[in-house]
Chains A and B, each alone.
Chain A
Amino acid sequence: MAVSRRDFLCRTRNGIGALALANMLAEDLSAASVDPLAIKPQHLPRKAKQCIFMFMAGGASQIDTFDYKPALQKYAGKPLPKVPGLSGEIEGFLDSPNRTIPSPFEFRRYGQSGRYVSTLFPKIGESVDDLAFIHGIMVDNNNHGPATMHVNTGSQLQGSPSVGSWISYGLGSPNQNLPGYVVIQDPRGAPVNGAAVWGNGYLPASYQGTLFRSTGAPILDLNLPKGLSREQQSKEFQLVRWLNEQHASERPGESELEARINAYELAFRMQAEAPRIVDLSTETAATKALYGIDNPVTEPFGRQCLLARRLVENGVRHVLLVHGVEIGKYSWDDHGNVKERMPQHAAEVDQPVAALLKDLKARGLLNETLVVWASEMGRTPFINDLKSDKPGRDHNQYGLVMWMAGGDVKGGATAGETDEFGIRALNEPIPLRDVHATVLNLMGLSDERLTYLHAGRFRKLTDIGGRVLNQIIA
């Protein structure tokens, strides 16, 4: 193409809008001939064009959410029988004195499929026919740090790219005024491992998640400096541009200098456009009520979900929502008092998640949006504390449950099955890499083809390759 990118931008500056060739907010423009976030074609045809990944931090109990295990009743208070095929920490737990804790919550059938869901999640239950569940997923580590890394980046060690990074790398992102990969964490704090959870690892920096603030202005440094009007800033930007153009013209052929000029153009536009996209006040009262923005319990996650909808609606490729923080009361890590804590977690997410599903569907977006609900590990149906009257559950890397919806997900389908205790897969556990391969597949990417040369190896999200769970794909 004979025209330089700068010329192209100059000519289209007056609002041609989101064109496939345009630059991205967090794009690395230093390689002038290749836009890191330019749209790339799918490897295989799939309907989903964007992904909303909801991560429940702390280890959500499968036994109290989506894995109905009535058989636990007959062992209530008694030791759980020996289960083969467990190793490490959880094997140790089960070898020690323990007692079984069935779910204190009722399960009931929902939807046309009649699937059992905990009554803690009645609104999600209403949408159950759109969901496909995966049971008995095995994570590589029984503790928060490595397990969170494993679910989010495919490796329990820090330093690998996150799911959203792979997706941005594989597909680029349509909107030129926003990042391609946005993260909104719980307003009460960060998940374990912090920014590593949405890091770009060894992929170029343009693929890292951009953390939007959960309260107030979402993007750091997006607001003009105090006392500077947009008009004044525009004059200053013009001088910056003029100086840089002089500088670059004396040093011809330095593509980085040109790219940096473009970066400032983008930043200027983004200051104007992004606030509009992230401003929730323009939503109707009905929509806000749907997401529970009017209720302090559901407001935080409701806000996160509503913002996620607006972002994908405006061409953001991947949104990671984190619910729950590190450790403590606001985490799903219910080592104690599952009876009082689980309802609190559920109350905070049930309505917002269901609202997101319904809202996406109503706007015709669910077809092209992959929604994933995940946590870093499951929990045990038994505990080693024999005395406490407020029992909880311990970590269980064998029992993770996840669900997906949207795109080509086959509503009502199931992959995997846990044993009667809900502690591990009935037969072969589903390794997490299979789930990752499936997520990529549903986004139109092959985990085997989506590679990046690093330290002498062609790396991939699934490391050694995963099997796509075709049973949940329509």
Chain B
Amino acid sequence: MPPGKTLPAQDIAAIEAWIQGLPPTAAKAAPSRYWAFVKSAKHAVPTVRESSAARNAIDAFILDKLAEKSLTLGPEADRRTLVRRLYFDLVGVPPRPEEMNSFVEDRSPKAYEGLVDSLLADVRYGERWGRHWLDLARYADTNGYEGDPEWPHAWRYRDYVIDSFNQDKPYDQFVKEQIAGDEFFQIVSAVPAPLPEPEKQVALSFLRLAPFNRTPVSDENRDSLLSEMTSTVSSVFLGLTVGCAKCHDHKYDMVPTRDFYRMKAFFATVQITNTGRAGGYEPADFYKPGQKAWADETRAQFKKDVEQSEADFKEFQKPLLVKLTAAKKLEKPAKPKPEDTKPEDSKELTAKDLEREINSENNNASGFDKKPEIFTREEKDRYLQFTERIGRLKKAIDRLEPLAMGLRNADGPPMGPNVPTTYVLRRGEYDSLGEPVEPGFLSAIEGHSNPAVLELDRYKMFPTRGRRMTLANWIVSPNNPLTSRVMVNRIWQHHFGRGIVETASDFGKNGTPPSHPELLDWLGNRFVDEKWSVKAMHRLILNSSAYRQTSYKTDKRAEQDDPDNRLLWRFPRRRLEGEAIRDSVLAVSGRLSLKPGGPPVYPPLPEGLDEAQKVQGVNTWETSAGEDARRRSIYIFQRRALNMPFLETFDSPVFNAPCDRRRHSITALQALSMYDSDFVNEEARHFAGRVRSETGPDVAEQIRGAFQIALGRAPKPAEVRQAQSLMAAVTPVANALTALCRVLLNSNEFIYID
């Protein structure tokens, strides 16, 4: 070094001598004083001069920093703006006109706080905020890689997340369930643990949601799997890029490679039940009230459908088999294979032979094989329809089996081998074993590299059990300097568009330092004091003046001195995410289905994606009909190899790794989606229908109604005139209102929230 060069020899000698001359104590690892690795202090809430502007401690900290630059918070936003802001933030759809009016007219002193509470209690809150968590969990409904096979039970994790947010499950509990859901039961006598509670088994899916390469080289795959778990757990819960240390000591943070493998060692006993299918499943009953009965009933109905379809299919195949037999008799006999026991012409043709023939004809579409075709296009299409229908029904049944994508610990002695040793892997290569390590916590935080004291059962009967719970307990310990600050920072990020630490999954030296370090500390401590309640933290943030202030730039000097708005002298205006845009279009057309939970749905794909969604000629996108096609976007089937274009164009990424912050791009492809897609155009028609039925035939009233529904306000006189002018120019006149509705859906105001 430096790269491409070498230091002069005498410099090397000087450095060597200095190292040799260091006293032995200087070489010992000392606990880092880096802010993120040190438990936050208990700061006093600053006193502020303008006490009227401060509603709570958050305001005090914000005003304190603003005051350093002689700035202050902006004026409060008007009531309409606050309602829209809260609705989009907490439930992800716009308020209905009557909901808007109800708040605007409510002059009671705690009206705003009341609205916050009622939205936090709304089940749509879990669907909105659960989506942020799914981004971190790299959630998808498929495996990725070859064939991109489905994970039929991943959806149960998605519902688990939504429910956990709705129930305000304490965050420490949420963390423990996802890392060690199978290790909750305290073993107090010498009997095995019962199966984990179904909800906790479902929670364990978290560890398995990364794309998984199922090729045969098993040591390498196991290393990939466990390394990914290690890396993800650290970035999601600890906000640290420990994954960087898989191959070498972390270049910036005090995380040596050993520490990566010491953390990986907590996962050493993980075992995935391999049923040969993608996924591998653990039993997990349906635990929500009424869900088991519903699942049993639905499965039974599908099973009846399968039987009926299979019977119909068999009938359909009969004449085809006759045709095939006749055709085969005319063919020259093939060379007899040694394993054939019957002579050629007495062989009875079976359904398998029919399948082979039809597949072969379908594969020969380009006419390369010069064989004559036996079946017509109609017959082949109908055959395919049957197989697809039966295939879909069987998949639908599978999705409703009481299973989850969980995992378990390997059986220890005497049934299985003892806990496997974890080795440091040199350069991260799976077959390059370095020194063995014991499970242990990050030395940068602990100040030492001693092995962790594992929480095993006192009888030592189950030596493979308890590691992950040990890790989870360390993560959510009130003494852990990172966990609570990382989570409150994420919550802050989704409310304000940017975290106090902008790099929400990197609190290390290469991340951005906190804009308000004392506030972050204070919030982290408060989170723990409030028993890790996420809703309590929401309430604190949402009720602050900082959150309620206007998004307009009202201070020229603030614009100059803090153009980035790092100090929060106004509320940041933002664009909605793809899911919220789609849900809002449906909310406004009146067609959004609020049916919660359950297996994924498949809204129609745009016409051009017919080929892209096929795997080996088979349609994989089981387009939903009716209400199911219009459910909230969080329920859409997330296929790794094919992102739903409407969402993708609005920056919904394909989740291969945790995503802590989405982009908000602006592209002409988005404009095309919003203007030309079948989806928006159909909903614009329904939006117009809704306006017509709610306001009647008068054009001016229709215009007012459309603005109220889409934008939450009355149109200005100039807007009414412009709208009338457009509508008058539309032919045929029946399309005039649809045209206006389409225009409103495409306005900036529809998706940029003040």
Residues on A facing B (Cβ under 8 Å): 23-30, 88-89, 141-146, 157-159, 185-190, 192-196, 199, 204-206, 210-211, 213-217, 219-227, 232-233, 235-236, 239-240, 242-244, 246-248, 250-254, 256-257, 259-261, 263-264, 266-267, 270-271, 296-297, 325-330, 344, 347-348, 455-457
CB of B383, distance to nearest CB on chain A (Å):
18
In the complex the two chains form, is B146's CB within 8 Å of A144's CB?
A: yes
B642 neighbours in A (Cβ, 8 Å): 190, 194-195
Query: Nearest chain-A residue to B573 (Cβ)?
Result: A254
In the complex the two chains form, is B640's CB within 8 Å of A30's CB?
A: no
CB of B516, distance to nearest CB on chain A (Å):
22
CA distance A254 to B616 in the complex (A): 48
Query: Nearest chain-B residue to A255 (Cβ)?
Result: B666
Interface residue tally for chain B (C-beta within 8 Å): 85
The answer to the question of B216 belonging to the interface, with a C-beta cut-off of 8 Å to chain A, is: yes
CA distance A341 to B551 in the complex (A): 64
In the complex the two chains form, is A221's CB within 8 Å of B723's CB?
A: no
Partner of B681, one of A190, A215, A219, A225: A225
In the complex the two chains form, is B145's CB within 8 Å of A193's CB?
A: yes
CA distance A296 to B553 in the complex (A): 62
The answer to the question of B326 belonging to the interface, with a C-beta cut-off of 8 Å to chain A, is: no
The answer to the question of B748 belonging to the interface, with a C-beta cut-off of 8 Å to chain A, is: yes
CB of A197, distance to nearest CB on chain B (Å):
9
A26 neighbours in B (Cβ, 8 Å): 667-669
CA distance A441 to B367 in the complex (A): 42
- Decide if the interface of chain B is mainly helix, strand, loop or mixed: loop
Partner of A158, one of B611, B656, B723, B742: B656
CA distance A357 to B657 in the complex (A): 40
In the complex the two chains form, is A264's CB within 8 Å of B671's CB?
A: yes
The answer to the question of B271 belonging to the interface, with a C-beta cut-off of 8 Å to chain A, is: no
CA distance A253 to B657 in the complex (A): 35
Contact with A along B638-664 (1 / 0, CB 8 A): 011111010010010010110000011
CA distance A186 to B676 in the complex (A): 25
Q: A26-B667, A27-B667, A455-B244 are in contact. List 18 more A-B contacts (CB 8 A).
A: A24-B668, A89-B216, A158-B654, A159-B656, A188-B611, A213-B611, A222-B676, A226-B681, A232-B730, A263-B666, A264-B668, A267-B671, A271-B672, A327-B146, A327-B616, A328-B363, A328-B617, A344-B368
In the complex the two chains form, is B616's CB within 8 Å of A326's CB?
A: yes
CA distance A253 to B722 in the complex (A): 25
CB of A85, distance to nearest CB on chain B (Å):
15
Query: Nearest chain-A residue to B672 (Cβ)?
Result: A221
Residues on B facing A (Cβ under 8 Å): 144-148, 211, 213, 215-217, 220, 241, 244, 251-252, 363, 366-368, 506, 508, 510-511, 551-553, 559, 573, 575, 606-609, 611-617, 639-643, 645, 648, 651, 654, 656-657, 663-673, 675-678, 681, 718-719, 722-723, 726, 729-731, 735, 739, 742-743, 746-749, 752, 754
A325 neighbours in B (Cβ, 8 Å): 616
CA distance A213 to B606 in the complex (A): 11
Query: Nearest chain-A residue to B618 (Cβ)?
Result: A189
B729 neighbours in A (Cβ, 8 Å): 232, 235
In the complex the two chains form, is A263's CB within 8 Å of B511's CB?
A: no
B144 neighbours in A (Cβ, 8 Å): 145, 158, 193, 196
Identify the 10 closest CB pairs spanning chains A and B, nearest first: A194-B641, A145-B145, A456-B510, A267-B671, A266-B668, A28-B665, A158-B656, A221-B676, A143-B215, A159-B656
CA distance A141 to B224 in the complex (A): 13
CA distance A28 to B612 in the complex (A): 25
CA distance A204 to B673 in the complex (A): 19
CA distance A6 to B573 in the complex (A): 21
In the complex the two chains form, is B672's CB within 8 Å of A222's CB?
A: yes
In the complex the two chains form, is B748's CB within 8 Å of A236's CB?
A: no
In the complex the two chains form, is B368's CB within 8 Å of A252's CB?
A: no
CA distance A226 to B681 in the complex (A): 9
B752 neighbours in A (Cβ, 8 Å): 247, 254, 256-257
CA distance A236 to B670 in the complex (A): 17
CA distance A297 to B365 in the complex (A): 10
A248 neighbours in B (Cβ, 8 Å): 748
CB of B47, distance to nearest CB on chain A (Å):
33
In the complex the two chains form, is B611's CB within 8 Å of A214's CB?
A: yes
CA distance A457 to B243 in the complex (A): 12
CB of B337, distance to nearest CB on chain A (Å):
9
CA distance A286 to B508 in the complex (A): 63
CB of A152, distance to nearest CB on chain B (Å):
13
Given known contacts A256-B575, A347-B368, A235 and B612 CB-to-CB distance under 8 angstroms:
no
Query: Nearest chain-A residue to B653 (Cβ)?
Result: A205
A30 neighbours in B (Cβ, 8 Å): 664-666
CA distance A189 to B614 in the complex (A): 6
B640 neighbours in A (Cβ, 8 Å): 158, 193-194, 196
CB of B94, distance to nearest CB on chain A (Å):
16
Partner of B215, one of A29, A142, A225: A142
